[in-house]
Amino acid sequence: MAPPAPTPPGLPPHTATIATVPVDTRHWIAGTRVTSPATFTDHSPIDGAPLAEIARGTATEARAAVAAAAAAFPGWAATPPAERAALLHAVADGVDARAEELAAVETADNGALLRSHRRGVLPRVAHNFRYFADRLLALSHADFGTRGHTNHVSWDPAGPAVLITPWNAPLMLSSWKIAPALAAGSTVVLKPAEWTPLTASLLADMTHEAGLPPGVFNVVQGYGDEAGAPLTAHPDVRRISFTGSVPTAHRIAEAAAAHLIPCSFELGGKSPLLVLADADLDLAADLAVEQYDNAGQVCLAATRILVEKSVRDAFLGRFLDRVAKLRQGDPRDETTDIGPSIHPRHVERVDGFVRRALAAGATALIGGAPATGLSDASGGNYYLPTLVTDVDQDSEIVQEEVFGPVLTLQTFPDGDEDEAVRLANGTRFGLAATLAAGNRERAARIGARLVAGTVWVNCFYVRDLSAPFGGSRRSGIGREGGDWSFDFYCDLKNTVTAPKGWSDHE
């Protein structure tokens, strides 16, 4: 495969041009660009083409970034909330001003639909910064009394926070962590996923342009074992927020335990979509097809469809009709519905789940293989939207997160709510659940029994930043969003004041 194109004349060194947008490929540490002796190649999932050579961070850059965040922390923590909020609004303004560029770069880097980036993702990035800036100014807890004494709760900034983010929605999920951490008065070291590092670099430019002091926001690029591990093991780090896999979370937790660093983990899921016999089946089919969004690379996706037996065929007919109308291909095309998977290794992983399921007796009603002929180069990573039936509850494809455009279909007996709940809760995960129902009381009854951080009823992916977000069981530890984010990125303090002993009382 050919190397990345050389830097065009007039651009500084260490700069790649992505969809006509110049992107600095170095780390961002203490308000300046920092290079590394080695690099790694970032490829586009659209066609496999190399995009850029990215500075490959090690313990050296990790230590420098944490030192910069620690040095900047006292000043940032002491910055009045109104000033911090104004700076975050300035970052949001920068995101809005460069939304088209960010969308183009993100699509080239992670393969998600360009139209989705333009219409939903980039507006959400700016909203994340604005929301937490405004929430900071409204943060309060009513004083309360104890035997004549006054209790006053306050949020003290915790210190440097290491944020490790995934590749499926790089900028949006990064801003979901960065915005509350900075609003809370903590400083940040971001380690973006090595498969999608580009928009994190652009965001660093925007924080600088917005006026954030040096060291308040830092970016270290690289692999988890080379850059991520020294960050999570650093004794000066005071918070770690990670979105990714359960095995990686185990390693982070072990490293953090040595210094008692609080962690927030969002670790994916294997969420159910329950379709009850009294549901609007057209709505249910729409919800099911929506699970193919972003080529199925969504942690919240309801990949296990559980249908009340009497409506299986009626639901399935509607579902298959809708899937047949989906268009898979280049995510830069406005008419495309499903783009590529992130990486050739990921396509192999997804296909491995399906092949093993089929070998064990499952049936692929649709899909079941990589898609071909969808890109201009042989390196495109496309997998057909797939529905697998005839699966056992304890089978691998039901129990493990595939993270691709692969759904399973199971049924439960009519009226058997216990069995529906048993199947829905029958994995080690508990991130989300979706319920299609026509009867409010029945929906409430079943929803109350589902083990999940979020339950959607007759809808999907409706998220308010004021709501708590996180998972149960192996889907994570802790909650972020709204005041829960400030609770995590701060040390809560209660000041108890006695009514007497004062020399200045009247």
Q: How far apart are CA 400 and CA 176, in angstroms?
A: 26
Helices 122-138 and 81-97 sit at what angle, rounded to 10 degrees?
170
Rounded to an integer, what is the distance from CA 428 to the centroid of its chain?
Answer: 20
Catalytic member of 101, 194, 266, 480: 266
DSSP collapsed to 3 states, 410-438: EEECCCCHHHHHHHHCCCCCCCEEEEECC
Kindly list the distances between the CA atom of residue 259 and the CA atoms of 249, 251, 262, 295, in Å, as whole numbers in the listed order: 16, 14, 9, 39
Q: Which two tokens stand for residue 489?
A: 């990125």
Rounded to an integer, what is the distance from CA 68 to the centroid of its chain?
Answer: 26
Amino acid of residue 469: F
- Judged by DSSP in three states, 330 sits in coil
Number of neighbours of residue 187 by Cβ within 10 angstroms: 30
What are the respective helix, strand and coil percentages of the chain, to the nearest 5?
Answer: 40, 20, 40
The answer to whether the beta carbons of residues 448 and 454 sit under 8 Å apart is no
The answer to whether the beta carbons of residues 457 and 449 sit under 8 Å apart is no
Q: Which two tokens stand for residue 216?
A: 């308040």
Burial profile 473-500: b = 16 or more Cβ within 10 angstroms, e = fewer: bbbbbbbbbbbbbbbbbbbeeeeeeeee
Alpha helices, H only, 280-311: 281-290
Q: How far apart are CA 2 and CA 20, in angstroms?
A: 19
Q: To the nearest 10°, the Cα dihedral for 196, 197, 202, 203?
A: 90
Q: How far apart are CA 72 and CA 378, in angstroms?
A: 47
Strand partners for 496:
151
Q: Is residue 299 among the annotated active site residues?
A: yes
Q: How far apart are CA 385 and CA 319, in angstroms?
A: 12
Catalytic member of 299, 308, 401, 490: 299
DSSP collapsed to 3 states, 102-151: HHHHHHHHHCCCHHHHHHHHHHHHHHHHHHHHHHHHHCCCCCEEECCEEE
* Beta strands 161-164; 188-191: pairing state: parallel
Q: Is residue 266 among the annotated active site residues?
A: yes
- Judged by DSSP in three states, 320 sits in helix
From 380, 271, 289, select the one nearest 45 (Cα to Cα).
Answer: 380
Active site residues: 266, 299
